[in-house]
Amino acid sequence: MLDPFPFPPPGPLTAFTGPLSSKLSLPTLPLHAHEVVFALSFYVLVGKVFAPWISRRVVPQRYNALSSRTKINWDVHVVSFVQSCVICTMSLWVIFYDEERQSWRGSGAFGIDNWEKRVWGYTGATGLLQSFALAYFLWDLYMCSRYVHIFGWGMLAHAVSAVTVFSFGFRPFLYFYAPVFLLYELSSPFLNIHWFCDKLDLTGSVYQAINGALLTSTFFACRLIWGSYSSILVFRDIYKATSSGYTIPQYLADAVKDGMKAGDLSDTQAQTIAFMDVRYVPLWLAAIYLASNLVLNILNFWWFGKMVQTIRKRFDPPWGTKGIGPDVVHYQPPDPTFEKPKSVTTSVPGAPATLTGLSEEGLEVLGLGRKDASIKDARRRAEELMGGPVDSEPIVQRGVYADGHRSIEVSGSTATPARSTRSRRKA
């Protein structure tokens, strides 16, 4: 299938990326650089404009009450949700409707024939798909770099690896497998919905239960079953290429081009071998792809176990583990051997009885550790921790968990809607 993108590559951008693509051995990059720019602009627009706009209209009170850190995380999950829906739709479309790519399949479940085109073949549709995937990971790399204190170094390393792998695809290399592995994203919409359920006080609800079933089933089917099977196939094709002497450049025989418009990207058949003049898989490239794929598959199995564990924590036994195991909290009784903690009334005149006798840690949680602190400050801090106004004075307690870690917990009742609530901070 020819590239269905409605706009041709602009001359200035092609001229700009041409020398870079030659230096990096990425000959198909100039053909799709404008698609990368378009998709990258789309994801930036979703994160900066669409996500805040739609959130303030659908859940205005909840979104506006979020901290700046959580808003960033919220907007990132919106972009991830949109991207996973877009890229999965495109991948399925390429798999079912790109007839040239379909002809590259081997006969039988593990057929080895046509392996050359699966390794070096090109179609415009797979190039478009590769461009949208690279654009998202470039955006993800920027976000993980700028907000590494939020997302962590592990997510930054994942973004760097993804950008590297999808950039090398423009050699072209393994275009056939681009839609195959991008279908990993079929579980991502449900993963994002699970996160939103926690933020919208739907934890343990029937909605999260149904979504959890869809999340685990799609993750298991797409990443563990489909992904592992596809990894075997790509390992086989790369091994065939390296064992057939293509670790040094080999040139396509002229006889293969007879009767074809070699290099004509406007011809559906000729485009498939347009970049197969030199067939070459350096060992470092094979090692990068195989190592990345192996690590990702190991992580998928580990993530699946953690995901099931996390989902079960939201629900009661027998199917869930809520209230049992390391999540059980026991509140420590006052220790008479301890020195009596400083009372709020020593620094804040008129403090209510429920706040009198708090430890220094409790004072710090409610913002009453300062000389200029007030009960108004404590109430405001408690409302921030509990996600809403309170109609009774908050109670601060120490907690100790089954795994040994301790916490400071603020509990009380919110006024609108009336419900008991608790906020926890690890001590």
Among 179, 148, 182, 146, residue whose Cα is nearest residue 162: 182
Q: Is 397 a residue whose pLDDT tops 70?
A: no
User: Which tops the pLDDT comparison, 70 or 405?
Assistant: 70
Mean pLDDT across the chain, nearest whole number? 79
The residues, any chain, with a CB within 8 Å of residue 95's CB and separated by 6 or more, are: 101, 179, 180
Tell me, what's the pLDDT at 307?
84
CA distance 71 to 80: 14
Tell me, what's the pLDDT at 267?
81
Tell me, what's the pLDDT at 317?
72
User: Which tops the pLDDT comparison, 358 or 97?
Assistant: 97
Tell me, what's the pLDDT at 144?
93
- Phi and psi at 398, nearest 5°, equal -90, 140
What is the domain partition of the chain in residue ranges?
11-312, 325-426
Strands 250-251, 278-279: pairing kind: antiparallel
Q: Is 158 a residue whose pLDDT tops 70?
A: yes
**pLDDT tier, 384 (very low <50, low <70, confident <90, very high otherwise):** low
Tell me, what's the pLDDT at 331?
46
Mean local confidence (pLDDT), 22-41: 94
| Neighbouring-strand partners of residue 396 | 410
CA distance 286 to 292: 10
CA distance 224 to 215: 13
The residues, any chain, with a CB within 8 Å of residue 25's CB and separated by 6 or more, are: 171
The residues, any chain, with a CB within 8 Å of residue 357's CB and separated by 6 or more, are: 340, 341, 343, 344
382 close to 368: Cβ distance less than 8 angstroms: no
Tell me, what's the pLDDT at 299?
84
User: Which tops the pLDDT comparison, 65 or 278?
Assistant: 65
Tell me, what's the pLDDT at 334?
46
Which pair of tokens denotes residue 136? 């998202």
**pLDDT tier, 393 (very low <50, low <70, confident <90, very high otherwise):** low
pLDDT tens per residue across span 64-107: 999 999 999 999 999 999 999 999 999 999 999 999 999 998 77
**pLDDT tier, 31 (very low <50, low <70, confident <90, very high otherwise):** very high
pLDDT tens per residue across span 98-147: 999 999 987 766 667 788 889 999 999 999 999 999 999 999 999 999 99
Which pair of tokens denotes residue 161? 């690896």
Mean local confidence (pLDDT), 219-226: 93
Q: Which long-range contacts (CB under 8 A, 24 or more apart) does 149-152 make?
A: 150/69, 150/72, 150/73, 151/76
Q: Is 348 a residue whose pLDDT tops 60?
A: no
**pLDDT tier, 339 (very low <50, low <70, confident <90, very high otherwise):** very low
Tell me, what's the pLDDT at 387?
61
**pLDDT tier, 409 (very low <50, low <70, confident <90, very high otherwise):** low
Predicted TM-score of the model (pTM): 0.72
CA distance 211 to 198: 12
74 close to 66: Cβ distance less than 8 angstroms: yes
**pLDDT tier, 347 (very low <50, low <70, confident <90, very high otherwise):** very low
CA distance 157 to 163: 10
Q: Is 394 a residue whose pLDDT tops 70?
A: no
Tell me, what's the pLDDT at 374?
56
Tell me, what's the pLDDT at 423?
52
User: Which tops the pLDDT comparison, 26 or 296?
Assistant: 26
CA distance 382 to 387: 8
Total count of residues recorded for the chain: 427
Q: Which of 165-174, 298-307, 395-404 has the lowest mean pLDDT?
A: 395-404
Tell me, what's the pLDDT at 248?
79
User: Which tops the pLDDT comparison, 372 or 235?
Assistant: 235
CA distance 373 to 348: 7
Tracing tokens 């479940």 back to the chain, one arrives at 109
Percent of the chain with pLDDT over 90: 44
